[in-house]
Amino acid sequence: MKKVQFKSYYSQYFFLAPQLLILLIFLYWPIIQTFKDAFTMQDAFGFGSQFAGFDNFLFVFSDPSYFTAFKFTIIYSFVITLITGSIGLLLAVQANKVLHGKNVYKTLLIWPYAIAPAVVGVMANYFFSERYGLLHHLFNNLWGFNWYEDVFDAYIYVIIAGSWKQISANFIFFLAGLQAIQKTVIEASIIDCKSNIRRFWTITFPLLMPTTFFLIIINITYAFFDTFGIIDTTTIGAPGSETKTLVYKAYIDGFKGLDLGSAGAQSIMMMIIVLFITIFQFRYIEGKIHYN
């Protein structure tokens, strides 16, 4: 905080009030409702409800499809982070090196960042449709592609759809990270180390650690939450529930299945996961990477 500050009895609250008001009504109220739902059991007709302790949580844990969703979410986040991070880094390193056309490349590589995941999903839909789909035909000729029956094929479908636009985000941040590295550091390292590849891994990449770490969190959050639009416009969780993310499952159970208790419990589980990721981000890794 600032060393010099205003002292006032009421002004600060005036400045804080609009945001706090919106947060209290449209955020805290639903959150409290979520907790209420998670610990109550509604009867089948929605007439009454009673305190249920941890029954909803036990129900979620005993549900094999919850673990399917858990497994898929982990795999999905990991693969998306890996693919988009490495392609984004590769492109950023090249774009940082070229002397001509840097801005053209930059502009033409960042625009997919602006497209909504749901729009990407609808597009992917066409490329994977049996009737028109170019990718469907390609994969079908290679190994007999059938995403609504084969789990592996469905994974390929949602991973391609999910990774495409996220490459842009990784590219933007890696490029900015590369441009922030001081020229003198690079010049000094050229004298010490002739090999481009070794120099990249021993000098440049460690200096990019803060960016890399930041992007890992961004990509995981993207795979957890933003891919909702992609799943809902591509596989809708098929085959079975194999490609439902945790968020998508909570939505289906709550909104379509009208099981508020289970959806609430699932939401709270997700909050705990997000909380862990955030704590991990602030405590563990931020202390261990070195900044320039």
Partner 1 sequence: MTRYISSTINHCILLIGLLIMIVPVWIIFASSTHSSLFINTNGLQFFLGDNFIENYSRVLFKKSGFFNEITALKMFFNSFIMATGIATLSVITSLMAAYGLVYFKIKYATILFWLIFMTLLVPLELRIMPSYIVMSKLNLVNTFAGLILPISASAIATFFFRQFYKSIPDELLEAAKLDGTSSWRFFIDFLVPLSKTMIAAVFIFMFVFGYNQYLWPLIMTTSEQYWTVVMGLKTMYGSISDRFAFVIMSMIPPVVIIVFLQKLFIQGIFQNK
- Residues between 12 and 41 with contacts to partner 1, criterion CB under 8 A: 12-16, 18-20, 22-23, 25-27, 29-31, 33-34, 37
Among 82, 98, 138, 188, binds partner 1 (CB under 8 A): 98
CB of 49 to partner 1, least distance (A): 13
CB of 264 to partner 1, least distance (A): 8
**SS3 state of residue 19:** helix
Taken in order 180, 182, 187, 191, the sign of the CA dihedral is negative
> Does residue 200 bind partner 1 (CB under 8 A)?
no
What is the phi/psi pair of residue 41, to 5°? Answer: -115, 125
What is the Rg, in whole angstroms, of the alpha carbon atoms belonging to the chain?
24
Residues 107-166 that bind partner 1 (CB under 8 A): 107-119, 122-123, 126-127, 131-134, 164
Among 59, 45, 51, 86, smallest CA distance to 258 is for 45
Residues 39-78 that bind partner 1 (CB under 8 A): none
59 vs 228 by CB, closer to partner 1: 228
CB of 2 to partner 1, least distance (A): 6
* Binding footprint of partner 1, residue count (CB under 8 A): 87
196 vs 202 by CB, closer to partner 1: 196
**How many CB atoms lie under 10 A from the CB of residue 114?**
9
Q: How far apart are CA 85 and CA 21, in angstroms?
A: 38
Q: How far apart are CA 237 and CA 252, in angstroms?
A: 10
User: What is the token pair recorded at 54?
Assistant: 């941890």
Residues 74-93 that bind partner 1 (CB under 8 A): 87, 90-91
